[in-house]
């Protein structure tokens, strides 16, 4: 009897962020103290990256590394999976609704779709890296003290909220589902 392959489970392993993204991630947590943990930066970066259409490739220019451990993912697995599915569902307007649904909800349950799933995970992490870069630049420009970082985070949050007012992602999802 042939051994049945196991489907990939999302957000169960350690993840290493490299290069400038690791440096920026560490800065946002350890120096600016805008986030408590790397996982908090990771989840927020996914949102910022997607909403501001910022993607960035893996950077190996420096040897800096930051690791998000599996236990952090296990604590926040539901949130990470939700973000992954939502961003994967909404990304790339040039595919059918069925393809979107497959990518977001079915690839990780099908061992035969491992390669396609990895492409989706890579795209998601491109958004995360783009979001890290965006947040680092947005939250730290012209900041030198803890109060400056807090004030800047408030400004960025207010701008983010204002830019989202009037934009209904529920409507966008409804349009996608009716697209057929």
Domain positions in the chain: 15-179
Average pLDDT of 14-27?
97
Share of the chain above pLDDT 90, in %: 64
CA distances from 77 to 11, 54, 69, 81, 165 (A): 6, 23, 12, 6, 28
Indicate the pLDDT class of residue 172, thresholds 50, 70 and 90. low
State residue 43's pLDDT score: 97
State residue 2's pLDDT score: 46
Biggest alpha carbon–alpha carbon distance for the chain: 64
Mean pLDDT over all residues of the chain?
88
Flag whether pLDDT at 180 surpasses 60.
Answer: no
Flag whether pLDDT at 11 surpasses 50.
Answer: yes
Contact status, residue 136 vs residue 50, Cβ threshold 8 Å: no
φ/ψ of 5, rounded to 5, equals -70, 145
């Amino acid at each position: 009897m042939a051994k049945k392959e196991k489907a990939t489970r999302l957000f169960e392993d350690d993840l290493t962020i490299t290069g400038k993204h690791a440096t920026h991630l560490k800065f946002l947590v350890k120096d600016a103290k805008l986030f408590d943990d790397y996982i908090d930066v990771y989840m927020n970066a996914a949102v910022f990256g997607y909403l501001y259409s910022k993607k960035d490739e893996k950077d190996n220019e420096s040897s800096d590394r930051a690791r998000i451990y599996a236990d952090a993912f296990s604590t926040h697995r539901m949130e990470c999976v939700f973000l992954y599915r939502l961003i994967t569902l909404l990304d790339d307007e040039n595919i059918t609704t069925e393809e979107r649904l497959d990518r977001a909800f079915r690839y990780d349950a099908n061992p035969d779709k491992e390669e396609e799933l990895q492409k989706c995970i890579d795209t998601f992490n491109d958004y995360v890296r783009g979001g890290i870069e965006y947040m680092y630049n947005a939250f730290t420009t012209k900041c030198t003290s803890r109060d400056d970082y807090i004030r800047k985070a408030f400004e960025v949050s207010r701008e983010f909220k204002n830019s989202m007012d009037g934009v209904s992602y529920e409507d966008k999802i409804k349009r996608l589902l009716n697209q057929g």
